[in-house]
Amino acid sequence: MVITSSISIITYLSYFLLTPWGSPPPIFLSSPLTYLQNALYTSSFFHLPTLVLFLAYFGFTVLLQYILPGPLVPGVVLANGKRNLYKLNALHTSLTIFSLLAGATLFFGGADWVGWVYLWEHYLHLITALNVFCLSLSTSLYIYSLRPGPHLLADGGTSPSPLFNWFIGRELNPRPLLSSLDLKSFCELRPGLTLWIILNISNTMHQLRTTGGITDSMILVNLFQGWYVLDSHLHEPAVLTTMDITTDGFGHMLVFGDLAWLPITYSIQTRYLALNPVHLGPLGVLAVLAINGLGYYIFRASNSQKNLFRTSPSDPRVAHLKTLQTKRGTKLLISGWWGISRHTNYLGDWIMAWAWCLPTGFGTPLTYFYVVYFAILLLHRERRDDEACERKYADDWAVYRRIVRWRIVPGVY
Ligand code: NDP
C-alpha cells in the first residue's frame, strides 16, 4: 500500500512542484505542508471528460492494433511448453497517431490547436484519469486471474498475500478482451509510451505559445525521447524476450508503470522546460549529443545482440560469439556485449538518462529525478533478473557469474 500510494503521489508532485517561479517553489521549501494543503484545497483533481478522452485514446490504440497490418510473431517458450502469438504493429500505431496529430496541428492552429491547449490545461485531470484507470485495470486483471482454468501464473505472483499478488501481477499473459490482444505487451509499448511523447509535444507547444520559440534544450529532449520510443517500436520483437514479458505478471506495478508513471514522470524535463526555457548554446548541444550517442550505441547494440542470439543464433552477426551451454537447453553469451558485464544494456540506458536531464541545466534537482529513479530501477531489476536466472539456470548461472564477473558497469559494479 505504501508503494502504491507513493508512486501515485509522485505523479501529482511532478505537477505541483514544477512551477515558473521555482521547481520546487520557495514557498514549498519554507513550508511544504502548507503549500501542499493549499494545492489540495484549491485544485480541481477530477474531470470526467478528461477520463472519457483518455478511455477513447486507449480504445483507439486498441483499434489500431486490430486494423493495422502486422506480422504474428511467437514469443518465447513458456513454462507450459507453449508460445504465445503477438501481433507486432506498434510502429504503425504510433506513426498513425503522430500523423493525425501533425495534421491537426498544421491545419487547425499550430501550437494553439485545441488539443495541445486542452492537454496543458487539463494536465492535473489527466494525472487523476491515469490513476483511476490504472487502479481499475489492475484490480480487474487480478479478479480475472482468479478464474478457474489452465492459465499461466507468474512465479512471483502466487504469494500468500493477495495484495502483494495484485501489485506484482498474478497472471503472466492476460488476454481478457480478445484472445489475440495480449494486454501486457500492448500496454508495455503502446498507449503509455505514445502518451509520453504526446505530452512532450504538448509541453513544447506551450513553450512556443508563451515565448514565441522553441529552445535548443527542448528540441534535444524531444528528439532523444521521441527517438527512444520510435526505436522501441522499430525493435518491437525485442520486447518479447524482456523480463516483463517472459517472467513478470501483469499487476499494478506494470500497469501503473506503463500507463501512468512513465508518461507523467518521464515528461518532467519537457514540462520544466515549458515553464523555464533553457538555452544550451552550440557547445552544450554537442556535449549532450555525444552523451546520448554513447548511451544509445551501448543500449541498442547490446539489446539487439541478445535478441538476435535468442531468435536467430546462426545469424553471422552472433554465430561467432562464445557461449555457455546450459542444462536447461539454452545457451548464454559469454563474449560480445554480454561478456563485458551481465547487463551492459542497463549501462547504456542510464548514460542516455543523463542526456535527457542535462538539457534542463542546473536550476532544479527535480529534472534529475529520472537519473536517480532509473538507477534504482536498474539496480533492483538487475538483482531480480539475477535471481530469476539463478532459478532458471541453477549451477550454470553460478558458472556464468564466474565468467562474467561484473553486474552492470565493467570494473566498477
Ligand atoms: P534484458 O533484456 O536485460 O533481459 C534479461 C534476460 O536476458 C535474462 O532473464 C535472460 O533470459 C537473458 N540473458 C541474460 N544474460 C544472458 C546472456 N549472457 N546471454 C543470453 N541471454 C541472456 O531485460 P530487461 O527487460 O530488464 O531490459 C531490456 C531493456 O529495457 C534494457 O535495455 C533496459 O535498460 C530497458 N528498460 C527500460 C526501462 C525504462 O523505463 N526506460 C524499464 C525497464 C527496462 P533467458 O536466458 O531466459 O533468455
- Best residue among 254, 345, 378 to mutate for probing ligand 1's pocket (most ligand atoms within 8 Å of CB) is 345
pLDDT at 162: 94
- Ligand 1 contacts CB of residue 349 (under 6 A): yes
Helix axes 90-107, 114-121, angle to 10 degrees: 110
Q: Which residues contact 398 (CB under 8 A, 6 or more apart)?
A: 390
- Per-residue pLDDT of 380-413, as tens digits, reads 999 988 998 998 898 999 999 999 999 999 988 8
Determine which residue's CA is closest to atom 39 belonging to ligand 1.
Answer: 374
**Residue 115: DSSP 8-state:** H
- Per-residue pLDDT of 218-258, as tens digits, reads 999 999 999 999 999 998 988 888 888 988 999 999 999 99
Distance 344 CA to ligand 1 centre (A): 10
Scanning 122-267, the segments in alpha helix (DSSP H) are 123-145, 162-168, 183-189, 191-211, 216-234, 243-246, 252-256, 262-265
- Ligand 1 contacts CB of residue 105 (under 6 A): no
pLDDT at 173: 92
- Best residue among 229, 266, 343, 344 to mutate for probing ligand 1's pocket (most ligand atoms within 8 Å of CB) is 343
Q: Is the pTM for the entire model greater than 0.85?
A: yes
Q: Which residues contact 267 (CB under 8 A, 6 or more apart)?
A: 196, 199, 200, 203, 225
Distance separating alpha carbons of residues 352 and 356, to the nearest angstrom: 7
- Per-residue pLDDT of 151-208, as tens digits, reads 889 888 889 999 999 999 999 999 987 778 899 999 999 999 999 999 999 999 999 9
Distance separating alpha carbons of residues 44 and 11, to the nearest angstrom: 15
The DSSP bridge pattern shows strands 323-325 and 72-74 to be unpaired
Distance separating alpha carbons of residues 96 and 104, to the nearest angstrom: 12
- Ligand 1 contacts CB of residue 343 (under 6 A): yes
Element (H, E) at 333: strand 331-333
Residue 310, C-alpha cell as written in the block: 535468442
pLDDT at 286: 97
- Per-residue pLDDT of 214-224, as tens digits, reads 999 999 999 99
Distance separating alpha carbons of residues 238 and 75, to the nearest angstrom: 10
Residue 257, C-alpha cell as written in the block: 508503470
